Amino acid sequence: MSTTFDDLKARQSKSVMNTYGRYPLALSRGKGTRLYSPEGREYLDLLAGIAVTNLGHSHPELAEAMHAQALKLVHVSNLFHQEEQVALAEALLATWNPEGAGRVFFCNSGAEANEAAIKLARRYMRAVRGEERFELITLSGSFHGRTLATLTATGQDKVKEGFAPLPAGFVTVPAGDLEAMRAAIGPHTAAVLIEVIQGEGGVKPFPAAYLKGVEALCRETGILFLVDEIQTGLCRTGRVWAHQHFGLQPDAITSAKALANGLPMGALLASEEMSRGFEPGSHATTFGGGPLMSVVALKVLEIMKRDHLAERALRLGDYAKALFADLKEANPGKIAQVRGLGLMLGIELAVPGKPVWEKLLERGFILNLTQDTVLRLLPPLTIEQEDLARFAQALGDVLGEM
């Protein structure tokens, strides 16, 4: 099937709900770190499907694993024991702590993983500890998903417009303000849910002292400490999980995006103690952790470990930040700040962001613009150093023209 971009856009406007501000581009295939339009134009992918295709596109080992499992078993539901799911759970837990302790709940997306974390926190407090604790504290600028509960947890008003009344039991405090969080913790508080680096909020890492302070507050007050690793997890920042940079020990973390390199897959990893909050019938999903998804996700973890992609992300991230720091110096008044960790990078512009983003797209670079002024880079972890240098050169050229 072939069609022009204008025809495709017109057909889409009549058949698909208008929920996305789509880029002026159609994509038909990908290979490694490259994406191609139907006309055959090549683009360097610096977005990875929003931190999803960490191993790049059309990875042959993943395709082979998918094919073999599709011929064996795709879906049976969670009414049955599945070896593939158990193997994946064991492998995931081993990345989280050396003993492999804890339990995993599998689902289909990041929002579902965070929804599960919210439900588990509430049910653990009531069913296990016998306490009427149900409130969740989150941070301004955070993003946790699009379900009613997770968008309420999100610390950005723009995602909540038109959806009132929102669920009760959520409190948002100013990000980075430890005393504001202390003041918000009360007798009904069940947990704190944070990102150690806010992605949708503009690639904003938190200082180690603040993160450790949040964890200490949770321990001091007896509430749960939850970390959203949907975007930061799976080697993106230079460790398998971003919270490991800071020596944090959450009661639970959530994962999705890169877990199956593009197939819909999410997971909630919780401590053995917190996991006691769920029992048969208390939470469920039809598709989560099916054999096909589990086999692919297990292969993703195997490749990440074998190819040392966490270490690679840290090294290339440092290289890219040095390039962008040079650009900042060479273009006074045009770049406000360069920040991030590993290959989760944000270039905050001091000039309007959209014209810069548009010119970069015209030059063949796919990346994201968030918060109007932040160029967000989330490339495949397999990207080459030369490609990062080529992007930096193009960005310098665009800024020089402005």
Pick left, alpha or beta for residue 64 (phi over 0 → left; psi -120 to 50 → alpha; otherwise beta).
Answer: alpha
Q: Which of 113, 90, 116, 110 is nearest to 102 (CA)?
A: 90
* Percent of the chain clearing pLDDT 90 (strictly above): 98
pLDDT at 402: 87
The class (CATH top level) of 308-402 is alpha beta
What confidence tens digit (pLDDT) does each residue in 275-284 have?
Answer: 999 999 999 9
Please indicate, yes or no, whether the overall pTM of this predicted structure exceeds 0.75: yes
CATH classification for the domain delimited by 63-306, as one of 3.40.50.1970, 1.10.150.530, 3.40.640.10, 3.40.50.970: 3.40.640.10
Q: Residue 193: what pLDDT?
A: 99
Task: Note the residue count of the chain.
Answer: 402
For 300-311, write each residue's pLDDT tens digit: 999 999 999 999
CA 136 – CA 389 distance, rounded (Å): 42
Lookup: tokens for 115: 């929804």
Region 92-110: mean pLDDT is 95
Has residue 337 got a pLDDT over 60?
yes
Residue 1, pLDDT score: 57
pLDDT band for position 33 (cuts 50, 70, 90): very high
User: What's the pLDDT at 2?
Assistant: 61
pLDDT at residue 63 greater than cutoff 60: yes
Domain residue extents for the chain:
63-306, 308-402
